[in-house]
Chain A
Amino acid sequence: MSYSSKQIVALFKKDVLLETRQQHAFYGLLLYVAATVFIIYLATGEPESEIWNALFWIVQLFAAVNAVAKSFLQDSKGRMLYYYTISGAVNYVLAKLLFNAILMLMISLLTLLIFLLLLGNPLNHFLQFVLISFLGSTGLSFVFTFLAAIAAKAQQQAALMAIMGFPVIVPQLLLLGKISAITFNDVIQAGWWQMVAVLVCLDILIVALAIILFPFLWRD
């Protein structure tokens, strides 16, 4: 293992450790998702597949905002400087991206479970939908991780995250909704994998931008 990947793993482990020491944040998030889905259930019962799909991605969106928003706030300024001197900005942000992606994967799996439990199962291609929800949740976590880094520097967390994030995330959400809607059909269209490829490219683009731009955010 190379030196920088070791550092990324170490930083990642630190994030996991912090999360397991303060489990209330994670459980809070789970409760948030569960309560949201339960409200949807009370309001609509078992919705049609289109609405099921739309609601799923909206819940994912808000879960992502809440899960990721705090990720750059736990570390104090002095500790940030410490990480910066021992490992560098790129490794730091890669560890954050990795951690948030895995966090969002867990959340999305759980959301899916509660959705299936309460709102019924309109899915025809279960595995494909799981794949898309994984891709989607990592994509959402990438975008919001990057925006959280900007917002943390601007010191106006919640409002700025929403203002910057929602317009930026719309194309991705539309694409996700479109791709995942196809998994409700009996037959998967021929161009489906192509659209998945577009989604993957978008995710790669976001990670690349984060790697290039994050070092500039850190300079104080």
Chain B
Amino acid sequence: MLRSAWWKILSFALLMYTCTMGFLVKIPVLDDRLQQSIRNLYFHVPMWFGMMVLFTVSAIYSIKYLSSGKTIHDNYATEYARTGIVFGVLGLITGSIWANYQWGKPWSGDPKQNGAAIALLIYFAYFILRNSVNEENKSARLGAVYNIFAYAMLFPTIWIMPRLTESLHPGGEGSEGNPALNPKDLDSHMELVMWAAILGWTLLGVWITTLRIRLILYKEKIFSHA
């Protein structure tokens, strides 16, 4: 499935759709809270969806690596985590730009912001751990163990903790509810574009990762022939 081209074309088409319709689609007239800045929904929110998907795939490959011991699974896990980090950083940046207009400053210590920053620190630590061990096998094994542990710790960090406190994020009023999105702010057109954006960006993330894995495999081939 990953070798076929259709999903890459789909990703391209969806992102073209996102980047045009994201700016053109009519947005519902809300009170003063969110005006045109709600269009960040198509660029900021999908980053987190993408990050979660990529980290999940990474954790699955870590489990696979522990049960099979094949290096290729470890390569998959590392590269998916790497792309996940890129998505997370992009999510923070797009969020900060949005927050600068919406909340008055790029970083307001919102629980969701803090949670995302901690999640990224957890994954940066993953790469530091991997690089601090020289033996390749050992680094892969320790990395896989930590990756699974980090993934389990990710849930309280970004799913449970931010929900316990009020958030500045749309939908974060009161201590109940999802403090990142307010479904009441969207109409059906916006939702359509949102899902297209989420799917498109996530597929792009997978695409980038598969390219990186191919690069690694080619490098290994060169080394083994040298």
Interface of chain B residues 153 through 189 with chain A (CB within 8 A)? 153, 156-157, 160-161, 164-165
Q: Which residues of B contact A172 (CB under 8 A)?
A: 156
In whole Å, how far is A90's beta carbon from the nearest beta carbon of chain B?
14
Contacts A170-B118, A202-B156 given; does A209 touch B164 at CB 8 Å: no
A105 at the interface (CB under 8 A from B): no
B145 at the interface (CB under 8 A from A): yes
A13 at the interface (CB under 8 A from B): no
Q: Is the CB of B157 within 8 A of A171?
A: yes
Name, among B138, B144, B145, B161, the residue most crowded by chain A CB atoms within 10 Å (CB to CB): B145
Q: Is the CB of B125 within 8 A of A153?
A: no
Interface of chain A residues 138 through 179 with chain B (CB within 8 A)? 146, 150, 153-156, 160, 163-164, 166-168, 170-172, 174-175, 178
Contacts A146-B149, A154-B132, A198-B160 given; does A168 touch B142 at CB 8 Å: no
The SS class assigned to the B binding surface is: helix
Contacts A153-B142, A216-B66 given; does A170 touch B152 at CB 8 Å: no
In whole Å, how far is A204's beta carbon from the nearest beta carbon of chain B?
12
Contacts A153-B142, A175-B156 given; does A168 touch B149 at CB 8 Å: yes
Q: Which residues of A contact B150 (CB under 8 A)?
A: 168
In whole Å, how far is B134's beta carbon from the nearest beta carbon of chain A?
9
Which residue in A154, A166, A195 is a CB contact (below 8 Å) of B164? A195
Which residue in A175, A195, A205 is a CB contact (below 8 Å) of B152? A205
A188 at the interface (CB under 8 A from B): no
Q: Is the CB of A154 within 8 A of B129?
A: yes
B213 at the interface (CB under 8 A from A): no
- Closest A residue to B122 by beta carbon equals A167
- Closest A residue to B141 by beta carbon equals A216
In whole Å, how far is A76's beta carbon from the nearest beta carbon of chain B?
18
Tell me the complex Cα distance, A8–B165, Å. Answer: 40
B216 at the interface (CB under 8 A from A): no
Task: State the interface size on chain B (CB cutoff 8 A).
Answer: 28
B80 at the interface (CB under 8 A from A): no
Task: State the interface size on chain A (CB cutoff 8 A).
Answer: 28
Tell me the complex Cα distance, A186–B169, Å. Answer: 31
Which residue in A163, A166, A213 is a CB contact (below 8 Å) of B128? A163
In whole Å, how far is B196's beta carbon from the nearest beta carbon of chain A?
32
B208 at the interface (CB under 8 A from A): no
Contacts A153-B142, A167-B121, A171-B118 given; does A213 touch B164 at CB 8 Å: no
A217 at the interface (CB under 8 A from B): yes
Q: Is the CB of A154 within 8 A of B157?
A: no
Which residue in B129, B133, B160 is a CB contact (below 8 Å) of A171? B160
Q: Which residues of B contact A178 (CB under 8 A)?
A: 164-165
Q: Which residues of B contact A150 (CB under 8 A)?
A: 129, 142, 145-146
A77 at the interface (CB under 8 A from B): no
B148 at the interface (CB under 8 A from A): yes
For the complex of A and B, the 5 pairs showing the least CB-CB separation, nearest first, are A167-B121, A171-B156, A167-B122, A171-B157, A164-B125
Name, among B148, B156, B161, B165, the residue most crowded by chain A CB atoms within 10 Å (CB to CB): B156
Q: Which residues of B contact A21 (CB under 8 A)?
A: none
Tell me the complex Cα distance, A164–B165, Å. Answer: 25
Tell me the complex Cα distance, A216–B164, Å. Answer: 35
Tell me the complex Cα distance, A163–B146, Å. Answer: 12
Name, among A156, A160, A198, the residue most crowded by chain B CB atoms within 10 Å (CB to CB): A160
A219 at the interface (CB under 8 A from B): yes
In whole Å, how far is B152's beta carbon from the nearest beta carbon of chain A?
6
- Closest A residue to B175 by beta carbon equals A191
In whole Å, how far is A216's beta carbon from the nearest beta carbon of chain B?
5
Q: Which residues of B contact A146 (CB under 8 A)?
A: 149
For the complex with contacts A154-B133, A167-B125, 4 further pairs of A-B residues with Cβ separation under 8 Å are A154-B132, A171-B161, A175-B156, A216-B141
Offer 22 A-B interface pairs, CB within 8 angstroms, sorted by A.
A146-B149, A150-B145, A150-B146, A154-B142, A155-B133, A160-B128, A160-B132, A163-B128, A167-B118, A167-B122, A168-B122, A168-B153, A171-B156, A171-B161, A175-B156, A178-B165, A209-B148, A209-B149, A209-B152, A213-B66, A217-B141, A220-B138
